[in-house]
Every structure is written in C-alpha cells, then in structure tokens.
Amino acid sequence: MMTINDVITLENQQERISALLPQGYRFVTMTAVDSTTHFDIYYHFDRDYELYTLQLKLDRDAALPSISGLCFAALLVENEIQDLFGITVTGLVLDYHQHLLLTKDAPVKPFCRVPGVSVSTVETAKGGEQ
C-alpha cells in the first residue's frame, strides 16, 4: 500500500518539491496513473530509508511542469510519462519529444485508458488457469 504524505497543486508544485531537498530528501521516481477523468502524478522521495510521496491531480488537458531543473534525474521519468501517457511536460532540461522509449511508428499514448473499455474484475478458473 502506498502512503500519500501530501497533496500538491500545479500552483505550488515547484515550491513544495524544492522545499524538500534542503531537508535531506532525494528524488526517487515518479508514478503516473490514468484515473480516467484526470491523471494522478505521484512524486516519490526518500530520506533515511522512508518514502515520502506527494500526489498531484492533473487535468487531462493540462501540461505538467518539469521538476528536472530541481532534480536532474527526473528528466528520464518525465520523458517516459510523455511517451506512455501523452502528457506534455514543460521545461524539461532534455526533451525527447515523446521518443525516449517509443519509435515513430509506435502506438500513441499506450498506457492511457481507452474510453469505454475497462476491467473491473478478473476471474480465474479453478487451479489458477485463466
């Protein structure tokens, strides 16, 4: 189970993340989740082997400001999020323009949900066979 330590907004994202760094937190990674009506962006930081997670709810048509100017390593996962979810990340220190992982003929936004398609339960046959 993931613990959300705080919820941030686009307006305070840079300020809140930059305030963690002098306290000894280090950037670990980010997670993006397509929640159908919006994207949930989770920023994961570590200090003394304890994970600290910030959540940002991003409108589907909004751009995500990069934190790569604050945490250089974020440029990899931010480019990955652009590739896989089609989210525009602005201000990247190095922008692969949605081709860090995907080739030009790859599916567009392969990790986004397809409208009208969902899985609510998965049934398995007796004995674990599907």
pLDDT digits (tens, 9 = 90+) for 63-116: 999 999 999 999 999 999 999 999 999 999 999 888 888 888 888 888 887 655
What fold is seen in the domain 6-117?
Answer: Beta Polymerase; domain 2 (3.30.460)
Percent with pLDDT over 70 in the chain: 87
Residue in 20, 115, 7 with CA at minimum distance from that of residue 57:
7
The residue with greater pLDDT, 125 or 55, is 55
Strand order across the 50-59 sheet: 6-8, 50-59, 38-47, 26-34
Q: List the structure tokens of 33.
A: 């989740």
Instruction: Report the Cα 90 to chain-centroid distance in Å.
Output: 14
CB atoms within 10 A of CB 61: 8
Say how many CA atoms lie within 13 Å of 54 toward its Cβ.
Answer: 24
Q: How confident is the model at residue 55 (pLDDT cuts 50, 70, 90)?
A: very high
